[in-house]
Amino acid sequence: MSKPVVLIAEELSPATVEALGPDFEIRHVDGADRAALLPAIADVDAILVRSATKVDAEAIAAATKLKVVARAGVGLDNVDVKAATQAGVMVVNAPTSNIVSAAELAVALLLATARNIAPANAALKAGQWKRSKYTGVELTDKTVGVVGLGRIGLLVAQRLSAFGVKLVAYDPYVQPARAAQLGIRMLSLDELLAEADFITVHLPKTPETVGLIGEEALRKVKPSVRIINAARGGIVDEHALYVAIKEGRVAGAGLDVFTSEPCTDSPLFEFEQVVATPHLGASTDEAQEKAGIAVARSVRLALAGELVPDAVNVKGGSIAEAVRPGISLAENLGRVAGSLTGAALEAIEVEVLGEIADLDVKILELSALKGVFSVLNDAPVSYVNAPVIAGERGVAVSLTTSAESPDWRNLIRVKLTLTDGETVAVAGTVTGPRSLQKITEVDGFDVDVPFSAHLAFLRYADRPGVVGIAGKVLGDAGVNIGGMQVSRDEAGGQALIALTVDSAIPAGVLAEIAAAVGATSARAVDIEL
């Protein structure tokens, strides 16, 4: 059996390949070379990139086997997440790999602007001793405004607190009480602009944040302010910053990112009071190694069909240990339910009962969707595109939970409502020290059937001889029965046979059984366990 193919499109740390291990065929390409990238990506299962490779809709369309795009870093500006999601391709990144490096660089730029380190260094190396020209300012007792108090912004604030600064921040998503515990006073953006002696930006780049520190904002700051942007280019309007520095309304700036990169020629570079670096936020040995290892682990999980905590286009997030056994169960229940349908879907409801209902079980809804559509969709279905398929088909999806589970410690039920008004419901649980999955209910009939690669379900009017007929037809066809269970609502009423068999039941054989016993429905279910 051939190994999954992983394409490394940019230079990554040797630890990345080591973390992938021997289970993959590793290929390399210069991802910045478009003519080389498109044919190279055609038959790969995963691609690992940094920032230079554009994994856009064209590349995703060319990669017919692609299952995962892994960005060894935080940003995803070079990956078309929407196109990947539509194609069922998981997108992962390494969201925490460079946060320390980025925070440290922001602090370095802030200190460099405060003490004129860059121009003083250049002057001295040019043979000039200009102590008075490059007099700087202390940080102690100054007010530092942190715009964006996420993971990196918080790290910057923590590090700067050691300098004896007064910390203020703007972030509409952070509670003031939480910030106060950290010694940070929350302000509106206008208040921060007016008070801060230093402003350091740590926001994601979104339509709302582009140009946030622009002409209007820069008319509200102190003329002694120094502005640091080590987040994303464009959040600070570079032209507006140039004008403000030229007019003496801003004292200096430290920039690691630019609206258009690579940026080697900017009007801002004419100012000695501007310290500029070429997007070095993640450029440390430690950050590159952490990013490579993180995405390598994510690729291993993704290609094994497991959920990935760092997947940006998969709902679910962190998964509690108690919920994990239910992931595969929910998918298998979805496969069974989908196999029992006889009409188009109108709605899918996932019910989670028992102890795990108090936890975040959103991932179980996603797993059930994947299972249902895996048997109803011709194209491959993944954790990524299952919700997309539901939306495209107009299928309503819901998740309900209850801590009450009368018969089982935990129970998952997948209920399908069909467009003809009929419903299909399959429930199951995980039991025992070996986490055995079993079906406990099919359309209201109580059963106790362990999952098998090959199952069959027959509905019929209860009467003698049906079990014998089913057994004989299967035996004549060479299909061995692993287990059989009969459930009925009442004697002489409606009954259900649930079968586990050792091999797939040919369609003709199932039809023969259905005709012989007068079954109202007969369905075979094949599952990859």
Is 281 a domain residue? no
CATH number where 387 lies: 3.30.1330.90
Q: Both 14 and 163 in a single domain?
A: no
Cα–Cα distances in angstroms (integers) from residue 351 to residues 136, 401, 407, in the given order: 64, 6, 15
- Given strand 46-49, what is the order of strands in its sheet? 25-28, 5-8, 46-49, 68-71, 90-93
Q: What share of the chain is helix, strand, coil (3-state, %, to 5)?
A: 35, 25, 40
Other CB atoms within 10 Å distance of the CB of residue 297: 20
- pLDDT at residue 233 tops 80: yes
Contact 498, 427 (CB under 8 A): no
pLDDT band at 77 (very low <50, low <70, confident <90, very high): confident
For residue 165, give the DSSP letter.
P
pLDDT band at 133 (very low <50, low <70, confident <90, very high): very high
Domain boundary pick from 426, 451, 476: 451
- pLDDT at residue 317 tops 60: no
> What are the φ/ψ torsions at residue 444 (nearest 5 degrees)?
85, -10
Rounded Cα distance, 278 and 99, in Å: 17
Q: Both 267 and 148 in a single domain?
A: yes
Is 185 a domain residue? yes
How many CA atoms lie less than 13 Å away from 328 in the CB half-sphere? 15
In 392-451, beta strands by DSSP E: 396-402, 410-418, 423-431, 436-442, 445-450
Q: Both 413 and 491 in a single domain?
A: no
Digit-coded pLDDT (tens) for 194-225 = 999 999 999 988 888 999 999 999 999 999 99
Contact 442, 426 (CB under 8 A): yes
Is 153 a domain residue? yes
Q: Both 371 and 472 in a single domain?
A: no
Is 113 a domain residue? yes
Q: Both 292 and 409 in a single domain?
A: no
Q: Is 382 helix (H, G, I), strand (E, B) or coil?
A: coil
Rounded Cα distance, 511 and 529, in Å: 25
Digit-coded pLDDT (tens) for 358-415 = 998 988 999 999 999 988 887 778 787 888 889 888 999 999 999 999 889 999 999 9
Q: Which residue in the block uniquely carries the two structure tokens 């102690």?
A: 140
Question: Which residue from 294, 387, 393 is spatially nearest to 85, judged by alpha carbons?
Answer: 387
Domain boundary pick from 408, 435, 451: 451
Is 312 a domain residue? no
What is the maximal distance between C-alpha atoms in the chain? 106
Q: Both 163 and 290 in a single domain?
A: no
Rounded Cα distance, 93 and 204, in Å: 15
- pLDDT at residue 319 tops 80: no
Structural tokens at position 461: 């009017």
* Residue ranges making up the domain that contains 77: 5-96+286-303
29-64 burial, b at 16+ Cβ within 10 Å, e below that, comes to bebeeeeebeebbeebbbbbbbbebbbeeebbeebe
Digit-coded pLDDT (tens) for 150-200 = 889 999 999 999 999 999 999 987 888 888 988 999 999 999 999 999 999
pTM score:
0.64
Domain boundary pick from 391, 419, 451: 451
Look at residue 406 in the predicted model and tell me its pLDDT: 87
CATH number where 515 lies: 3.30.70.260
Q: Both 136 and 175 in a single domain?
A: yes
Q: Higher confidence at residue 19 or residue 204?
A: 19
Q: Both 514 and 400 in a single domain?
A: no
**Averaged pLDDT, 53-70:** 95
End-to-end CA distance of the chain: 18
Q: Both 245 and 353 in a single domain?
A: no
Is 494 a domain residue? yes
Structural tokens at position 506: 């040919």
Structural tokens at position 500: 């586990």
Other CB atoms within 10 Å distance of the CB of residue 247: 11
Domain total in the chain: 4
Strand-pair category, 410-418 with 423-431: antiparallel
CATH number where 261 lies: 3.40.50.720
Q: Both 246 and 258 in a single domain?
A: yes
Q: Both 124 and 222 in a single domain?
A: yes
Kindly report the average pLDDT of the chain as a whole number: 92
Is 311 a domain residue? no
* Catalytic site positions: 232, 261, 279
Share of the chain above pLDDT 70, in %: 98
Is 529 a domain residue? no
Look at residue 529 in the predicted model and tell me its pLDDT: 66
Q: Both 338 and 427 in a single domain?
A: yes
